[in-house]
Chain A
Amino acid sequence: MPGRQLIMSFPVTATSHALSEYRERGGYGALAKTLGQLKPQDVVKEVTASGLQGRGGAAFAVGRKWQVVQYDDGQPHYLIANADEGEPGTFKDRWILENNPHVLLESMLIASYALNVRNCFVYIRGEFDLPYRRLAGAVEEAYAAGLFGRNILGSGFSCDIVVYRGAGAYVAGEASGLLSSLEGKKGYPRNRPPRLTVKGLYQRPTVVNNVESLSNIAWIISNGAEAFKAVGTPKSPGTRLFSVSGHINRPGVYEVELGYPWMKFLDEDCGGVPHGRAIKCVVPGGVSSKVLTGADISNLKLSHEDLWDAGSTLGSGGMIVIAEGTCMVALLQVLMRFYHHESCGQCTPCRHGTGWLHRIVDRIVAGDGRSDDIERLYYISKFNDGTTICGLGDAAGYACSGILDKFRDEFEYCIEHKRSKFGGNLECLRSS
């Protein structure tokens, strides 16, 4: 196991997701402690002190987000767990929803108590089936046990929860797009300002956090901020769930203590690359984070600071391993098709830029590349950076320029020879 475990800390069985077994593991103890001993501001203080960073992609400090909400401003507040999990390569929230749904619910109750939230929501990816059934089952169990509703555990604190299923748009995972969708509108992201913590759902102060970010709260309250900070590195406290896929022998979801050596994780925990192939590159945290080559990552640790130094990020924890022999042009084509398909179409550069990127890469793959195509791909990426309403436009540009930066020669080859240097291959081949 790659270091200590806070969330995946028990053996998964057919019944380990149930309330009874969660209780046996000490579940809802943090809630009892919160309601019995802590004031709301104590909870916010503890979470802030823990240094917990968001696990949805941007690694924004959870406590700092919470502090913006004024407990007593006389308005309704909302809390939303972002379970849309749409980032390609990312399937770690799904593990929590399927196998440990009560840790999310308990954490949301604590957060709601801290933020003066009467109604909280889980916005769950529409395609999720088992995760949805497990979560819905857990909500039912929790209501039956008096953990939601009025006067929870006799404390006077009341809170209700609604599980809302998305309709299949990646952009509805973006926090403000999510709120638009939750309000019953098209999932269009919104311009900031105002920040969502000032005007979010129904124009009220709203906290949107990723499922995994929230799921750490119960542990932090039970064990304290100091204990949490003792896990991981000083700049990256705690653990992260990585969903590992691609050319790897043991794909799956792993909880990794931050600061753990990356190559050790891939070679020992994940069983290395099939057929003994070398790593060509890795998408560290969802395709919106820039790729790093095998050489780039050889001495890196899995921590926010190491990734930032290397010019990328841990993003959403969706790690895709890509072996030698893979065609990066074909890979970029897949990515560009995705962004083109998922652009909500609201803002000019992304609406047209994603399609433009996609068409150019399509043409290069088809053997019709032109000498100015690479320059043009950079141009489109550049003018999507910082010019769009949400991060999708920027991400499409990063994904594109990230791959071009590292593998420009493959694109030049493909344009010049009208065919891929690696036969358009996306599989992990037995032999070259």
Chain B
Amino acid sequence: MPEIFINGQAIEARDDQTVMAVAREHGHFIPYFCWHPQLSVVGNCRMCLVEVEGRGLDIACNMPVAKGMKVFTNSEEVQAHRKAMLQFITLNHPVDCGICDKAGECTLQDYHYQYSGQRSLSHDQKVRSTKFYNLSNRILLDNERCILCLRCTRFTHEVSKSMALGVERRGDTSNIRPVEDRPLSEDPYSDNIIDICPVGALLSRQFLHKSRVWFLQPTPSVCPGCARGCTVQLWHRKPEWKLKALDQRQNESIARVTPLDNPAVNGPWICNKGRDLAQVFERVRADEPMLKGRPVTVPAALDEARRLIGAARHAVALVSNWGSNEELETFKDKLGEVFHCFVKEDWQPQPGERLEDDLLIRADKNPNTTRARELFGHAEPGFKDGTDLVLVWGEGFDFARLPSRARIIFLNSYLQPENGHADVFLPVSIQTERHGHYTNFQGTVSAFEPCFEPKPGVLHAEDLIRALAAPARGHP
């Protein structure tokens, strides 16, 4: 345990630590571009230069601790060098923040304000390069904004292992480029490079020029795309930036999805499917209760459902593995005795989708199979002779497999043909409209929060379950 000194503070460091790591642990911030906690050290941006007494300047991210060393993270020399590094970085940088999606969350902007604020010292033309280079069907690259920190290339080599990116040419004409025979579009984790790019060089095509980031706010959530249950942030417009002039759908939509750093589950990464959750959540919604396809009021639908439950001799429930822990537990508690329950898999792997790998992606494409099976067992759905009522909760079950004589109560969120075939159809809210928890395949529980209000007529499943279990008439 060598003792070192950072800005005069004596610190017990571990032998294998770098000065960068020790400084971070003890609240001495050292600015950096290329360093990343999950990637190997390349030490190329030179932003983390610190001064060591008797040894001059060197980079903190690659500096092993040594007993008694005295490090200064903010000396005059260090400050002058930081300023100079920012001069070099911006020398050929277009500084087109006005049209850059990263503006507002760009490390280069932040550091410029914090450590320099100086105008460019150059009078000469900037080196021009490609803008909007087509990296993949998901990502554009602006080489002029790139500061060559090599986080993106390292990500594809060390984390996603697609090895899809490299550097072409050299010097100030170096360009990040895709490797010919390893397309980035086949890397299911590619979009993480957009987040880790410290500047606006890597752009999401889906998010391109869609919103300034300061109009948005993040809501913590959990990706339901597979049993990993990565924690994510769903970005949507801040209430004060919901403008009448905008299409209402834009005010109420998920603008983008980013990872919510979580060492217990997904670290700082998610897969591309998690980025595309809007495609799941923004399908056309069902918002009217129905009896055999005929729209009715909520009380009328509930009455009929309760009547069917009361009259049934043998009732089966197919319980959704997209239900939250709270919903599943309520179902077990309130209706577990009334129905013979099976866990239903709402989603199956889609054609072309990566089934499973050793980074994040799991073969089970549902978020809460773990808790559902804990409560309702592992048996495959089956219908005994004499089954006269089936409650189907959630999408993805082929109605042709239901016993032909059985009546059907169907709880679903999306507008789907089956809705009209049910004896009673009840629209339920989705994850972005309610609180809850999922239990992932490791047994780790993560919470999600609502970002939008459900429409009138759409019920939370938990309320609905309570209402169905209530003996007398009543509103949920």
- Write the residues of chain A forming the contact surface with B, with a CB cutoff of 8 angstroms: 169, 186, 191, 193, 340-349, 351-356, 359-360, 363, 370, 376, 379, 382-383, 386-389
The closest CB in chain B to the CB of A169 belongs to: B170
- Chain B, Cβ-Cβ closest to A186: B167
Q: Which of B56, B89, B171 has the most CB of A within 10 A?
A: B171
- CA of A31 to CA of B49 in the docked complex: distance in angstroms? 47
* CB pair A359 B171 closer than 8 Å: no
Q: Does B45 contact A (CB under 8 A)?
A: yes
Q: Which residues of B contact A191 (CB under 8 A)?
A: 41-43, 59, 62
With an 8 A cutoff between CB atoms, is B134 at the interface?
Answer: no
In the complex, the answer to whether A355 meets B43 with C-beta atoms within 8 Å is no
List the 5 closest A-B pairs by CB distance, nearest first: A345-B174, A383-B84, A343-B171, A352-B88, A191-B43
**Assuming the A-B contacts A359-B124, A383-B84, A388-B46, are A352 and B91 also in contact, with contact meaning beta carbons closer than 8 angstroms in the complex?**
yes
Q: Which residues of B contact A340 (CB under 8 A)?
A: 171-172
- B85 contacts A193, CB within 8 Å? no
- Residue-wise, chain B 54-75 has the 8 Å CB interface mask toward A (1 for contact) of 0011010010100000000000
In the complex, the answer to whether B171 meets A341 with C-beta atoms within 8 Å is: yes
Q: Kindly name the residue among A341, A348, A356, A360 whose own CB sees the greatest number of chain B CB atoms within 10 A.
A: A348
8 A Cβ contacts from B73-100 to A: 81, 84-85, 87-89, 91-92
Query: Contacting A387 at CB < 8 Å: which of B57, B64, B148, B166?
Result: B57
**A352 adjacent to B92 (CB under 8 Å):** yes
- Chain A CB within 10 A, most for which of B124, B147, B166, B169: B124
Alpha-carbon gap, A363 to B122, bound state (A) = 12
User: A348 touching B147 by the CB < 8 A rule?
Assistant: yes
Report the nearest A residue to B149, measured CB to CB: A348
Measured in the bound complex, the distance between the Cα atoms of B64 and A337 in whole Å is 36
Closest Cβ of chain A to B186, distance in Å, is 23
- The verdict on B284 contacting chain A, using a C-beta distance below 8 Å, is no
- What is the number of residues of chain B that contact chain A, defined by CB distance less than 8 Å? 37
| Beta-carbon nearest neighbor of B89 in chain A | A348
A343-B171, A351-B174 are known contacts. Are A360 and B43 too (CB-CB below 8 A)?
no
Hey, what's the 0/1 contact readout for B345-383 against A, CB within 8 Å counting as 1? 000000000000000000000000000000000000000
Chain A residues, CB < 8 A from B173: 345
* Cβ–Cβ contact B44 & A360, under 8 A: no
Q: Across the interface, do A342 and B85 meet the contact criterion of CB distance under 8 Å?
A: no
Among B46, B87, B89, B125, point to the contact of A359 (Cβ < 8 A): B125
Which residues of A sit under 8 angstroms from B47, Cβ to Cβ? 348
Q: Can you list 11 A-B pairs with a CB-CB distance of less than 8 A? A: A191-B41, A191-B62, A193-B62, A347-B43, A347-B46, A351-B171, A356-B122, A360-B124, A363-B123, A383-B84, A387-B57
The answer to whether A348 and B88 have CB atoms under 8 Å apart is yes
Q: Which of B164-221 contact A (CB under 8 A)?
A: 166-167, 169-174
Contact between A349 and B88, CB atoms less than 8 A apart: yes
Give, as a whole number of angstroms, the nearest-CB distance from A292 to chain B.
26
Asked whether B46 lies within 8 Å of A348 as measured between CB atoms, the reply is yes
Contact residue among A351, A353, A359, A387 (Cβ-Cβ distance under 8 Å from B81): A387
Which residues of B have CB within 8 Å of A389? 43-44
Within 8 Å of chain A (Cβ to Cβ): is B243?
no
Say yes or no: B45 contacts A348, CB within 8 Å. yes
B381 to chain A, nearest CB (A): 54
Determine the distance from Cα of A191 to Cα of B40 in the docked complex, in whole angstroms. Answer: 12
Neighbouring A residues of B64 by C-beta, 8 Å: 193
For residue B127, CB closer than 8 A to chain A, the reply is: yes
**Set of chain B residues within 8 Å of A376, measured between Cβ atoms:** 121
Q: Smallest Cβ distance from B208 to chain A, in angstroms?
A: 27
In the complex, which of the residues A343, A383, A387, A388 contacts B172, with contact meaning CB atoms closer than 8 Å?
A: A343
> B16 CB to closest chain A CB, in angstroms?
12
Closest to A356 in B: B91
**A343 proximity list for chain B (CB < 8 A):** 170-172
The verdict on A345 contacting B148 (CB below 8 Å), with A191-B62, A376-B121, A387-B46 known, is: yes
Cross-chain contact of A345 among B42, B59, B89, B170 (Cβ < 8 A): B170
A187 CB, nearest partner CB in chain B, Å: 9
Tell me if A387 and B124 are in contact (CB < 8 A): no
Q: A370 to B121: give the CA distance in the assembly, Å.
A: 12
The distance in angstroms between the C-alpha atoms of A243 and B24, with both chains bound, is: 50
User: Other CB < 8 Å A-B pairs besides A348-B88, A383-B85, 16 of them?
Assistant: A186-B167, A191-B43, A193-B64, A341-B171, A342-B171, A345-B167, A348-B148, A349-B85, A351-B174, A352-B91, A352-B92, A379-B121, A383-B81, A387-B57, A387-B85, A389-B44
With A191-B62, A352-B89, A389-B44: A346-B84 Cβ-Cβ less than 8 Å: no
With both beta carbons as reference points, the residue of chain A lying nearest to B125 in the complex is identified as: A359
Contact B170 A344 (CB under 8 A): yes
| Interchain CB contact under 8 A, B44 and A346 | yes
A340 to B169, CA, bound (A): 13
The answer to whether A363 and B124 touch across the interface, beta carbons within 8 angstroms, is yes
Q: Do B170 and A348 touch across chains, with their CB atoms under 8 A apart?
A: no
Contact partner of B148 (CB less than 8 A), chosen from A351, A379, A382, A386, is: A351
Residue of A345, A363, A386, A387 near B171 (CB, 8 A) is A345
Complex contacts, A387 vs chain B, CB 8 Å: 46, 49, 57, 81, 84-85
Within 8 A of A (CB), among B111-149: 121-125, 127, 147-148
A166 to chain B, nearest CB (A): 14
Q: Which residue of B lies closest to A375 (CB)?
A: B121
A171 nearest in chain B by CB position? B170
CA distance A346 to B170 in the complex (A): 8
Tell which of A341, A379, A387, A388 has the most Cβ of chain B within 10 Å: A387
- The answer to whether B171 touches A349 (Cβ under 8 A) is no
Question: Is the pair A349, B62 in contact by a Cβ cutoff of 8 Å?
Answer: no
A186 and B121 CA atoms in complex are apart in Å by 32
Residue in B45, B46, B124, B167 whose CB lies within 8 Å of A356: B124
Is the Cβ of A386 less than 8 Å from the Cβ of B85?
no
In the bound complex, residues from chain A placing their C-beta under 8 Å from that of B91 are 352, 355-356
**A373's closest neighbor in chain B, by CB?**
B123
- Enumerate chain A residues within 8 angstroms of B170, measured Cβ to Cβ: 169, 186, 342-345
Contacts of B92 in A (CB 8 A): 352, 355
- Chain B residues with CB under 8 Å of A345's CB are 148, 167, 169-174
From A342, A344, A345, residue with most partner B Cβ within 10 Å: A345
Closest to B175 in A: A345
Which B residues lie within 8 Å of A348 (CB)? Answer: 44-47, 85, 88-89, 147-148
Residues of A within 8 A of B57 (CB): 386-387
C-alpha gap A320/B385 in the complex (Å): 100
List chain B residues, Cβ under 8 A from A346: 42, 44, 148
| Nearest CB in chain A: distance from B93 CB, A | 9
How long is the Cα–Cα vector from A355 to B167 in the complex, in angstroms?
A: 18
A residues less than 8 Å from B49 (CB atoms): 387
- Bound Cα distance from A379 to B84, whole angstroms: 9
Give bound CA distance, A298 to B124, whole Å: 40
A343 and B88 CA atoms in complex are apart in Å by 14
